[in-house]
Structures are given as structure tokens and as C-alpha cells.
Amino acid sequence: MPHMRDEDESTSAPRLTSGVRIVHYIDHVDFRRGGPARAVVDQVRVMRQRGHDATIASMTLADVPDEWKQAPEHGGAARAIEVANRGGRIISAVGIRSLDHAVTTADIVHLHGVWEPSNLQVAALARKRGVATVVSLRGMLDDWCMAQGRLKKRIYLALGGRKMLERAAVVHCTAQAELEQSSPWFPRGRGMVVPNLMDLAPFRSMPGPAEAVARFKMDPASLPVVLFLSRMSHKKGVEHLIEAVSMLARRGVAVRLIIAGDGDEEYARRMRRLAASVGASARIDFVGHVGGSLKLSLLQASTLFALPTSQENFGFVFFEALAAGLPVLTTNLVDTKDEIAASGAGEIVPQNAEAFATAMERLLADRAALAQRGKVGRQWAMRELDTDAVAARFEALYQVALCRAAKG
């Protein structure tokens, strides 16, 4: 992807020519918690398809495909290990023993996350067995994230988190902006940038807008639809979007806002109250979680995707929107803002209601031009996030990790 540059020798590392044994550890495989779990599942699937022996280990396997839980001789596509734990954050002695064989026989242990104490345990086990580690930050060291719970995070880094990162063969970031924000927290570490693997197959043959139009009683030809599709939480900045819709109403600009997603129920209630207090309830629909073909249909039926978020390190939903041909409006606080802008279908503005209202008014004033930008964005997403191309970059990253481990 444009601007997604690797920090060091990744471009000169040879592609892996034989199967590599990779154990991925993530504390919970639960898609309700956001994108990291999905990224891990997609990466395991793709690496298996490319001939590598990928295993996923976690305390919770809620969204691991059922067939992965079967032994390979019984048709399992990948191994999945549910690790016994204490209180959901620490791996028990029994869990460590169950993980030990997989780690001992691995070439690489790939950790996903920073703040979970179980990552320190798995990293220590890999170090004990002489296995190279890769750590994916998942945005956890971005400026916004580091401003939340500042003292606890600094203590955690001092007590072992920084050492885990600096001992890793590679620290993986999904965007150059993430690497730039994060690297001061592990100054002796070695970072590389590779975007997340995405399953683009559902976007190659889209279902069409009819399902969403019928379900949500949409008439996008006459009333443009702005779509928010994400978890409901204070980080996502929904209040800015609600206030922007109210501003547009006062300017005489008709628009319908669909807010799709669940999460923090108290925050969602506050957003409903805000919509009522600014007189925008009639223009806004809170529709809850949307998935599957209905989600794809909703992306197609909408006019503009808008996410006034405080922070995203990759944000699958941005690239899903682009792959569906839907232009994107988001903030300058997103790590992939340069990539979204480079797609030809992205607008980047400050995180405030006035900026969103002004951008929405301008973009929606020429619907034909906006739709054409959506087509350009779709072409960009299908090209730049091509699964094979991104998978090859991960293979190069793993090759760098193995070379560094061999050098000690």
C-alpha cells in the first residue's frame, strides 16, 4: 500500500520457500472485541493455504472456525489450542504446559497485543525454548491509547512490556503512522510495517443493495444515506456525527444517518439522548449490529461512510467500505489516513462536528462525482489489499524474524 514502508531489511529478505511453523497467540478470539481477532483468524487461514503450519492459541476460541478444533487427521484446517487460564488474563500452569509443545516445535511465535499479561508469559516461554517472536501492536501504543490509563501502562512497560517488545525479532505495525507513534516506547526494538490481511472474496461478488433497502426502508436515490458502522464506544466519536447531522438540517441539507453497531450500551443510550436533544432523531436510525450479506448490502446501499473516530491503527471497516465502492470520511487521528486519502475515495478532516458537516455537505452536493470516487476506491482496495500480495509481505517479515533469530 502507498506510504506503508518497512523500517529495515524486509524488502531484501527472500520469500519463504518452505513451510514455516507459526504459533499465533491472542488472548481472546472474539469478534465482538474488534478487529484483532479477525485479523489473526484471516492470517492463519491464508498462511495455511500458502503451505505454512499455522496454529492459533487463545484463552477463548469463540469465533475460531469449528473445523479448526478438529485434529488435522480428521479434516482440521488448522490447529486451535484453548489455553487454561486464571481470571481471563493469566495463563495457568496447566495452560502453559498445554502450550509448551506447540511453542517448542514452532519456528515463530506471533503475539497479538501488548497489555495482556498472558503475552508476557508466552513471550517468556518462547524465549526459554529459543523460538523467535513477532509482536503485533494492534494500535495499543498509539498516542491516543497511551493517553488512556497513562500510569498503569507506563508501569506495565517498565515491569516487562518494553523488554518483551525490544527482545522481539520483529514488532509488527499495520501502518507507518503507527510505527512512528509507537517506536519511542521500545527504542531498541525493530519495527516493520505490513497491512492486515483481508478476506476480499465476499467483495468480489457483492449481493447488491436490495436487501438493505428493504430492511431499513431506504431510498438512497432521493435521500442520501451516511453510514456509521463500528462498535459503539466513546473512542468512535459518534457524538460528532450526530451534531453534524443537526448542523446540516439547519443548513437545509437533507441526509439520513444510519448508526450500525453494538458495544457500550450506556454510550449508545447517551447518543440516542443527544440525537433527541439536538432535534435530529427523525434523521437518525440506530439499527444495532449488522453482519453477513446484510452488512455488504448496506455498504452498497449507502452514499457515504463516516467514522469520526479518535484512533484506529488499521480499521477493517474503512477498507471494507472502499472495497464495496463506498467513499470514506474520517479523521486525521487514524493511522491509515494517508492510505485512505491515496485511495481516491477518502476524505480526512479534524475530529469535530463542524468539519464533518462541512465535508458531508460538499461531498453530497455532487452525488455522481462521489459515486465515481467510490468506483476508484474499490479498484484501489482490490489492488492494494490483494491477499497474495499482503501475504507475501508477511512471509518476508517472518523471514526477517528467522534471520535475526539465527544471528542471535
pLDDT tens-digit map of 48-71: 889 998 888 888 888 888 777 765
User: Does residue 2 form part of some domain?
Assistant: no
The answer on pLDDT for 2 being more than 50 is no
- Say what the pLDDT of residue 220 is: 83
Q: Is residue 1 part of a domain?
A: no
Look at residues 97, 82, 72, 78 and name the one whose alpha carbon lies nearest to residue 27: 82
What is the 3 state secondary structure string of 369-405? Answer: HHHHHHHHHHHHHHHHCCHHHHHHHHHHHHHHHHHHH
CA–CA distance, 305 with 327 (Å, rounded to integer): 6
Q: Which CATH number characterizes residue 33's domain?
A: 3.40.50.2000
C-alpha 199/C-alpha 201 separation (Å) is 6
Dump strand ranges (E) for 59-209: 79-82, 85-86, 90-91, 108-112, 132-136, 170-173, 191-193
Q: Is residue 369 in some structural domain?
A: yes
Whole-number pLDDT of residue 5: 36
> Is there a single domain that holds both residue 139 and residue 285?
no
Q: Does 36 map to a domain?
A: yes
Phi, psi of 363, deg, nearest 5:
-65, -40
Sign, CA torsion 390/391/397/403: negative
3 inside domain: no
Instruction: Supply the pLDDT for residue 70.
Output: 63
Segment 214-268, tens digit of pLDDT: 999 999 888 999 999 999 999 999 999 999 999 999 999 999 999 999 988 999 9
Q: Decide if 167 contacts 158 (C-beta within 8 A).
A: no
The answer to whether the beta carbons of residues 337 and 177 sit under 8 Å apart is yes
Same domain as 232, residue 366? yes
278, 392: one domain: no
Express each pLDDT in 313-347 by its tens digit: 899 999 999 999 999 999 999 999 999 999 999 99
Q: 370 and 400 in one domain?
A: no
Question: 178-217, pLDDT tens digit by residue?
Answer: 999 999 999 999 999 999 998 899 999 999 999 999 999 9
- Say yes or no: 31 and 180 in one domain: yes
Residue written as grid cell 458537516: 357
Both 212 and 269 in a single domain? yes
Of 214 and 97, which is predicted with more confidence?
214
Strands 85-86 and 256-260, how do they pair? unpaired
Considering the domain boundaries, does residue 291 fall inside one?
yes
Q: How confident is the model at residue 119 (pLDDT cuts 50, 70, 90)?
A: very high
Pair 170, 40 in one domain: yes
Q: What is the pLDDT of residues 4-56, one digit of tens each?
A: 334 444 444 455 556 899 999 998 887 777 778 888 998 998 998 899 988 88
Question: Of 94 and 211, which is predicted with more confidence?
Answer: 211
- 69-92 b/e (C-beta count within 10 Å ≥ 16 → b): beeeeeeebbbbbbbebeeeeebe
Please, where are the H alpha helices in 216-253?
A: 238-250
Please tell me the distance from the alpha carbon of residue 302 to that of residue 256, in angstroms, as a whole number: 10
Whether residue 192 contacts residue 169, with contact meaning beta carbons closer than 8 Å, is answered with no
Percent of the chain with pLDDT over 70: 91
Structural domain span for residue 184: 9-196+387-407
Q: Are residues 310 and 186 in the same domain?
A: no
pLDDT above 80 for 375: yes
pLDDT band at 75 (very low <50, low <70, confident <90, very high): very low
The answer on pLDDT for 1 being more than 70 is no
Question: Cell digits for 141?
Answer: 501504543
Q: Show Cβ contacts of residue 344 under 8 Å, excluding neighbours closer than 6 positions.
A: 373, 376, 377, 380
153 beta partners: none
**In the predicted structure, residue 79 carries a pLDDT above the cut 90:** no
Q: What pLDDT does residue 95 have?
A: 84
Do 292 and 374 sit in the same domain of this protein? yes
Does 170 share its domain with 220? Answer: no
Contacts of 382 (CB under 8 A, 6+ apart): 200, 203, 204, 323
Main-chain phi, psi angles of 56, to 5 degrees: -115, 130
Tell me, yes or no, whether 310 lies in a domain: yes
pLDDT band at 165 (very low <50, low <70, confident <90, very high): very high
The helix, strand and coil proportions of the chain, stated in percent and rounded to the nearest 5, come to 50, 15, 35
> Model pTM?
0.87
* Same-domain check for residues 129 and 262: no
Residue count of the chain: 408
Query: What mean pLDDT comes out for the span 287-304?
Result: 96
Q: Is the pLDDT of residue 271 over 70?
A: yes
The lowest-confidence range among 74-83, 157-166, 208-217 is 74-83
pLDDT at 11: 45
Residues 212 and 113 in one domain: no
Name the domain count of the chain: 2
Handedness of CA 55, 61, 64, 65 (dihedral sign): positive
220 inside domain: yes
What is residue 82's three-state secondary structure? strand
Q: What is the mean pLDDT of residues 371-389?
A: 96
Average pLDDT over residues 95-100: 86
Residue 318 CA, distance from chain mean position:
9
pLDDT (average), residues 157-173? 96
Q: Return the pLDDT at 367.
A: 95
